[in-house]
């Protein structure tokens, strides 16, 4: 169990988890429209597309099962930030008429094994 992760290690672990999540989702038919898409200081890890659906994904990566579930780490504040990025992305890319969903993906690396858990429709925004 990891009790403390330095910021640099946490950043590289997060990027590693995002890459695993993206590859896992692509194998299941999703197209990656953007990775680490930013609007000001806010960011969404992955933007996916499948048909008329656009999905904004927050990826949480853990090296153990301590500190509670990784999906619980997506606070209401983080959800609002992702929603703001989503609104900007949809307007800028001309996709405002598309169906939208907010998902979470939890990547856990434990003992050399990697587990990916996809949580579709992890939350609903107030503006849709």
Dist CA 25 CA 44 (whole Å): 16
Largest CA distance in the chain: 44
Domains of the chain in sequence order:
7-123 (3.40.1350.10)
By CB neighbour count within 10 A (0-12 exposed, 13-18 middle, 19+ buried), where does 24 fall?
Answer: middle
The pLDDT tens digits along the chain (128 residues) read: 333 344 456 568 889 999 999 999 999 999 999 999 999 999 999 999 999 999 999 999 887 765 556 567 788 999 999 999 999 999 999 999 999 999 999 998 888 888 999 999 999 987 65
Dist CA 100 CA 87 (whole Å): 10
């Amino acid at each position: 169990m990891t009790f403390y992760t330095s910021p640099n290690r946490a950043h590289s672990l997060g990027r590693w988890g995002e890459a695993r999540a993206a590859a896992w989702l692509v194998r299941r038919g999703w197209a990656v429209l953007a990775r680490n898409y930013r609007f000001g200081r806010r960011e969404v890890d992955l933007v996916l597309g499948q048909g008329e659906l656009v999905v904004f994904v927050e990826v949480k990566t853990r090296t153990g099962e301590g500190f509670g579930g990784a999906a619980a780490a997506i606070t209401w504040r983080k959800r609002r930030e992702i929603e703001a990025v989503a609104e900007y992305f949809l307007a800028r890319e001309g996709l405002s008429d598309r169906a939208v969903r907010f998902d979470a993906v939890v990547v856990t690396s434990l003992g050399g094994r990697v587990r990916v858990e996809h949580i579709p429709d992890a939350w609903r925004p107030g503006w849709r």
